Amino acid sequence: MDNFKSGFVSIIGMPNAGKSTLYNHLLGEALAIVNPKAQTTRHRILGVKNNPGYQIVYSDTPGVLTKTSYKMHEKMMHFVNESVKDSDILVLIIDITSSKFSEEIKAKFEGAKSKKIIAINKVDLSNQEQLESKLIEIKENFAADIYLPISAEKGFNTDILENYLVEYLPVHPPYFPEDQLTDRSERFFVNEIIRNNILKIYSEEVPYSCEVMTLSFKEGSKLLKLNCEIIVERDSQKPIIIGTAGQKIKQLGIKSRLDLETFFGKQVFLELFVKVRDDWRNNDNLLRQYGYDAE
């Protein structure tokens, strides 16, 4: 164990840059929810990857916001700041199709004391000329140790990225036991899977006003019984979630149950209820209950 390497790799970027896709690909597990809608990730999720000789602790983080409209957004940005501060290696993922870099991203990246890698994502959607132009632009704005074009979705150059991560890891004993995959509970992933399906099924502002809490988690050898609450912040949103004659929430329940059975590898019995909590995204006590307390 004298030469064992272990460290924290934090992945940051603007909303919808592909952070969660890259995180899942590097980790080899689908822990982070992936959705084409922006602001999908709300929490910092640690994922532990063990290999002979090293352990990488990946952090998936919320997208960096240029404006925080709710206290929930402030808590999300706190998770990002803590992740940057803790990192041994900081990976900034930049969408090659994006047109500008926010001052918030620049400040966080420049302020980091870790090794710095910029991953230029979605290069499968571009050509060589666009890549070279974007690379010049990025180098004018960011000083990094490595600039690497990747496609997180296609897996292009992600093996090269991981090689750099292993190279930059400090010599350190493992932070987590070899059989531990994440710092998050099973209930957390139940909440996230259901919330991801809310993002897929419902439109406009409604999904962003929702939170999910697992009230009961009873696991048997063959059956997992779940009782979950969908929290909305206005009375007018409750009937939208339920839908005409309960069709929408039935659709949500069926899709979520199938995803949960895949995730847990057993049959799932799922009950969903809807609860109104006025303006919960600005309520410190409720945010604490829903897992947005400071780390």
State the CB neighbour count (10 A cutoff) for residue 2.
Answer: 5
Residue 18 lies in a domain: yes
Q: Are residues 164 and 248 in the same domain?
A: no
Q: Are residues 159 and 204 in the same domain?
A: no
Residue 294 lies in a domain: no
Strand bridging mode 267-276 / 223-232: parallel
pLDDT in the model for residue 36: 82
Q: Are residues 65 and 101 in the same domain?
A: yes
Tokens 């509970």 -> residue: 185
Give the least confident one: 3-7, 31-35, 44-48, 287-291: 31-35
Sign of CA dihedral 117, 38, 21, 265: positive
Number of domains in the chain: 2
Q: Confidence class of residue 67 from pLDDT cuts 50, 70 and 90?
A: confident
Q: Confidence class of residue 295 from pLDDT cuts 50, 70 and 90?
A: very low
Pick the residue with more confidence: 29 or 247?
Answer: 247
Q: Are residues 255 and 214 in the same domain?
A: yes
pLDDT in the model for residue 204: 79
Q: Are residues 40 and 159 in the same domain?
A: yes
Pick the residue with more confidence: 227 or 32?
Answer: 227
Write down which residue in 168, 202, 232 finishes a domain. Answer: 168
State the CB neighbour count (10 A cutoff) for residue 185.
Answer: 12
With 50 as the cut, is the pLDDT of residue 214 above it? yes
CA gap 61, 9 in Å, rounded: 11
Residue 91 lies in a domain: yes
Residue 103 lies in a domain: yes
> In the Cβ-directed half-sphere of 141, how many Cα atoms lie within 13 Å?
20
Residue 230 lies in a domain: yes
Q: Are residues 151 and 58 in the same domain?
A: yes
Q: Are residues 134 and 274 in the same domain?
A: no
Q: Are residues 100 and 223 in the same domain?
A: no
Q: Are residues 153 and 212 in the same domain?
A: no
Q: What is the CATH number of the domain that holds 100?
A: 3.40.50.300
pLDDT in the model for residue 128: 92
Judge whether 52 and 38 are in contact, CB under 8 Å: no
Q: Are residues 17 and 161 in the same domain?
A: yes
Task: For the chain, give the mean pLDDT.
Answer: 94
Residue 13 lies in a domain: yes
Q: What is the CATH number of the domain that holds 194?
A: 3.30.300.20
pLDDT in the model for residue 102: 86
Token output for 116 = 């710095």
Q: Confidence class of residue 154 from pLDDT cuts 50, 70 and 90?
A: very high
- What mean pLDDT do residues 109-122 have? 95
Residue 139 lies in a domain: yes
pLDDT in the model for residue 1: 63
- What mean pLDDT do residues 186-214 have? 94
With 90 as the cut, is the pLDDT of residue 30 above it? no
Q: What does the chain come to in residues?
A: 295
Q: Are residues 150 and 30 in the same domain?
A: yes
Q: Are residues 25 and 117 in the same domain?
A: yes
**Structural domain span for residue 81:** 5-168
With 50 as the cut, is the pLDDT of residue 42 above it? yes
Residue 180 lies in a domain: no
